[in-house]
């Protein structure tokens, strides 16, 4: 699992007009090629009357799945420019469809490349991007006498994020810790409690924050 990566916030739509042609960007997150293809078909069905529904997607930890489709535009003028924007922004698990309604003015190859790139870039900006960071949930048990001290330190910490507090026979703190900081967290909590804390690792998951 990657320690962190960037993707889009979710579904988004944004329209621009260039030389009387409408370019509508449709953005979505897709973790599999099936999801990406399903989204593309959904947009094609919705905009069945458009001149073109060009698309690209980049999926996988190492961008192992990359596809671009010009959907009738001159070869290399639509799908590839869309994909290049995804690469430049380093966006994983992302699918983009650009719907074009032709306005009667031909843009030429260079104009098309710029138009599809611009529509993609602005569509992603309108949708928003997030950074997904891999964290480990650490479960720390302490006696109730240490509740206030540990809670205060966790809530003011700039390194560790408190997820939950469970009040059982002892107090259990569930804490989000960056994967590469787990040993540091154990050392820190041990020092803070004079060795009176018991910490066990839990699940790994990704936390998202806007970028």
Q: pLDDT digit string (tens) for 27-56?
A: 999 999 999 999 999 999 999 999 999 999
Helical residues (DSSP H) of the chain, grouped into ranges: 33-46, 79-88, 108-127, 147-156, 182-192
CATH code of the domain in which 139 resides: 3.30.70.240
Q: Are residues 156 and 104 in the same domain?
A: no
- The residue range of the domain holding 84 is 4-127
Query: Residue 28: what pLDDT?
Result: 98
Q: Are residues 140 and 94 in the same domain?
A: no
Q: Are residues 106 and 182 in the same domain?
A: no
Pick the last residue of a domain from 100, 127, 154: 127
State the DSSP string of 35-62.
HHHHHHHHHHHHTTTSSEEEEEEEESTT
Which two structure tokens, joined as six digits, stand for 39? Answer: 């989204």
* Residue 28 CB-half CA count within 13 A: 19
Q: Are residues 26 and 99 in the same domain?
A: yes
Q: What stretch of H or E contains 200?
A: strand 198-210
Q: Are residues 110 and 164 in the same domain?
A: no
Count each helix (H run) and each strand (E run) in the chain, helices first: 5, 10
Q: Are residues 114 and 206 in the same domain?
A: no
Q: Are residues 173 and 71 in the same domain?
A: no
* Residue 4 CB-half CA count within 13 A: 13
Query: Residue 169: what pLDDT?
Result: 94
Q: Are residues 120 and 142 in the same domain?
A: no
Distance CA 12, CA 83 (A): 17
Pick the last residue of a domain from 102, 127, 152: 127
Query: Residue 124: what pLDDT?
Result: 98
CATH code of the domain in which 44 resides: 3.30.230.30
Pick the last residue of a domain from 65, 96, 127: 127
* Residue 66 CB-half CA count within 13 A: 16
123, 13 contact by CB (below 8 A): yes
Q: Please report which confidence band the pLDDT of residue 136 belongs to, taking 50, 70 and 90 as the band edges.
A: very high
Taking residues 163-187, what's their average pLDDT? 96
Q: How does pLDDT run across 20-34, given as a tens digit for each residue?
A: 999 999 999 999 999
Domain count, the chain: 2
Query: Residue 192: what pLDDT?
Result: 97
Q: What percent of the chain has pLDDT over 70?
A: 100
Q: How does pLDDT run across 59-93, given as a tens digit for each residue?
A: 999 999 999 999 999 999 999 999 999 999 999 99
Q: How does pLDDT run across 184-210, given as a tens digit for each residue?
A: 999 999 999 999 999 999 999 999 999
Task: Please calculate the CA angle 72-102-90 and round it to the nearest 5 degrees.
Answer: 65
């Amino acid at each position: 699992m990657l320690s962190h990566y960037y993707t889009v916030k979710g579904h988004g739509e944004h329209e621009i007009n260039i030389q009387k042609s409408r370019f509508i960007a449709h953005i979505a997150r897709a973790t599999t090629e099936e999801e990406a293809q399903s989204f593309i078909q959904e947009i094609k069905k919705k905009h069945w009357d458009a001149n073109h529904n060009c698309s690209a997607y980049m999926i996988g930890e190492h961008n192992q799945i990359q596809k671009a489709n010009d959907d009738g535009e001159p070869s290399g003028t639509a799908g590839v420019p869309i994909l290049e924007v995804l690469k430049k922004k380093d966006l994983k698990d992302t699918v983009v469809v650009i719907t074009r309604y032709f306005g009667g003015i031909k843009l030429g190859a260079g104009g098309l490349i710029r138009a599809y790139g611009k529509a993609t870039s602005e569509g992603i900006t309108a949708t928003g991007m997030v950074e997904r960071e891999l964290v480990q949930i650490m479960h720390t048990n302490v006696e109730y006498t240490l509740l206030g001290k540990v809670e205060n330190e966790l809530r003011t910490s700039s390194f560790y994020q408190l997820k939950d507090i469970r009040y059982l026979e002892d107090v259990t703190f569930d804490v989000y810790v960056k994967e590469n900081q787990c040993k540091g967290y154990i050392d820190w909590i041990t020092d803070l409690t004079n060795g009176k804390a018991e910490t066990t690792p839990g699940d790994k998951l990704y936390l998202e924050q806007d970028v």
